[in-house]
Each structure stands twice: as C-alpha cells, then as structure tokens.
Amino acid sequence: MTMEKRQYVVTGATSRTGNIVSKSLLETGARVRVLGRSAKRLEPLAQLGAEVCIVEPLDAEALNTAFVGVDAAYVMLQPNYIPDHPDFRGYQDRLVDNLGRALEQSGVSHAVGLSSWGAELPAGNGPVAGLHRLEERLGRIAGLNFLALRAGYFMENLFSLHLEGGALTGPFQPETKLPFVATRDVGEAAANALQALDFTGKGCLEVKGPHASDMLKTASILGEALGRPLLPYTMEPLETFRQKLTRAGCSDSIIELMLEVVESINSGRLHAQWPHSPEDARRMSLETFIREQWAPRIRLENQ
C-alpha cells in the first residue's frame, strides 16, 4: 500500500511528539486523522490537511469510532500528567483499556506507542508503571504489529528546574546519569517507523540522545550557555521536592508517583537498558538543547 492510500490515526496530536508525527505523515501525502480535545489547538493540523476528530481520552465509544478504517496508529497516554488527579494510575489504566479495545475492534495492523525508559519494570517506577501496562496490553493484541518507543528522559523536563541561591537545584543525585532525549527526536523516530512500517510482531526501541548526562555536567553546560562558568548543582531533599509539588497544587496521588520515580532514578533501579546506538548519535545533543532552548528561557524568566 502506498503512503497516499494509508489511513493513519494520531492520538495526542497536539502533544510535542504527536504534533511532529502528524506533520511528518501529512508531508508524505498520507491521510491522517488527528485526535485531541480541542478543535482550536488542532486547527493548524487541519489547515495542513488532517482530518480532525475531537475525542475525550476516557470516551471509549468515540475512540472506537476514531480508529475505524485505520491502517496504522500512533498511540500515547494523553494527558500524560494531571497535577490534581486523585488517582492518576487508575486514570492511566482506563486509558490503556480504551486504547486496547479500539485497536482490537478496528483491526489496525501496525501501532507505534510512546513509552519510556524504565517501562520494563511493572511497579516502583511512578507513572512509568502505566506505560509498562500499555506495552503489556497492546502486546497481547492478536495480529497487531506493535513497536513501543521507550523514550529517554525528555530534555524539556529540565524547564521545571530553577536557579536558586546561585545554583541549579533539583531532586536527582548529582552523579546519576539520565538518558536525555529531545521530544522532537522521539516524534521523528515515531514518524519514521510509521512511514516504513517495517516492524513485525511485538518489540521495543529505546530512543535516546547522543549521550547521557548527570546533573553536575548538566549544570556546567547550562552555566557556560548563561555566561556563568562552573554553575553548581544542589540536590534538594525529597521532602523539599514534596513541598514544592504540594504548593503547586498536586494531589497526593501525583506526589507519591513523582517521589517514587525520582527515588527509582536515584537508586539506579530505573535506567536505560541498551547502549547508545549510531542513530542516537545523530540526534540533538544536550549541549545544543540547552544553548538553543533552555538558556534563552531562563534569561527571559530573569529579566
């Protein structure tokens, strides 16, 4: 089947990765159905030729309808974070069940799913446990060729860290290495897989940047970009991290999940499974991301 005849569906089409997947597929001339909750936010994709479908994440019937006639899908748990949700893991499980049924009933032949490093662990890894269940559920669907993209630690997550007292602060151990990756590169990896459709059976692929980095090195790179060489990094106590989440309006459910994933990373339990690949080496480096995106944001915040 040629690209022009394929029908794709993209869930979470306005997310960072979903938006890139949608645009990349549209550029090939394929038919692309984009799913989301806001017609206004989906309008730019509609102008590029996408078929817009407004679907609430927990509306199983609407999701089933949106998957009818689809050849290949990009699926994700969206929203991936609801700060005040009283039972976020329960919410994730409902999303997984809905996606599983939609894929089963529609007979989609190929699906690429957004997962995460650490998703091989069934528990003890915070919200990543929901992605373990996504991989497990979709992996049981007969006839579905499913590729789970286990993305590394999103570079964009660094936007939540701040300079306090002349130092970069965060909850991670100073020398714990994180497999950083830009969301742009994750979206492109998903789009490439959906265009090629050369994966069969069930499998997973880690998507990482050129190299891992710990927070000491990350602070040093940021300091150079800001003209503040030797910028230090200070690890904040988990209780301080908890208090920040509480002040931000996070529910007890979210707070416990965030603490759990941080502790899992700091202990080394949650870590990348495979060495960096030649494909990883071609992706955006942490240095480029910090210089072009993070440092400019910090300058604006401090004006």
Please say whether the beta carbons of 40 and 78 come within 8 A: no
The b/e string for 165-189 (b: 16+ C-beta within 10 A; e otherwise) is: eeebbbbbbeebbbbbbbbbbbbbb
What confidence score (pLDDT) does residue 172 get? Answer: 98
What confidence score (pLDDT) does residue 291 get? Answer: 98
Q: What is the pLDDT of residues 153-188, one digit of tens each?
A: 999 999 999 899 899 999 999 999 999 999 999 999
Please say whether the beta carbons of 18 and 187 come within 8 A: yes
What confidence score (pLDDT) does residue 265 get? Answer: 98
| Beta-bridge partners for 257 | none
This prediction has a pTM of: 0.96
What confidence score (pLDDT) does residue 3 get? Answer: 64
Distance CA 253, CA 257 (A): 6
pLDDT along the chain (303 residues), means of 10: 83 98 98 97 98 96 98 96 96 98 98 98 98 98 98 98 93 98 99 98 98 98 96 97 97 98 97 94 98 96 82
Q: Strand runs (DSSP E) across 121-247, as ranges?
A: 145-151, 153-154, 162-164, 167-170, 180-181, 202-207, 233-235
Please say whether the beta carbons of 185 and 153 come within 8 A: no
Domain ranges for the chain, please list them: 3-153+181-207
Residue 249's region, left for phi above 0, alpha for psi from -120 to 50, else beta, is: left
**Which CATH number fits the domain 3-153+181-207, given the four candidates 3.40.50.300, 3.40.50.720, 1.10.260.40, 3.40.50.620?**
3.40.50.720
What confidence score (pLDDT) does residue 81 get? Answer: 87
- Those residues whose C-beta lies under 8 Å from the C-beta of residue 44, and which sit 6 or more positions away, are none
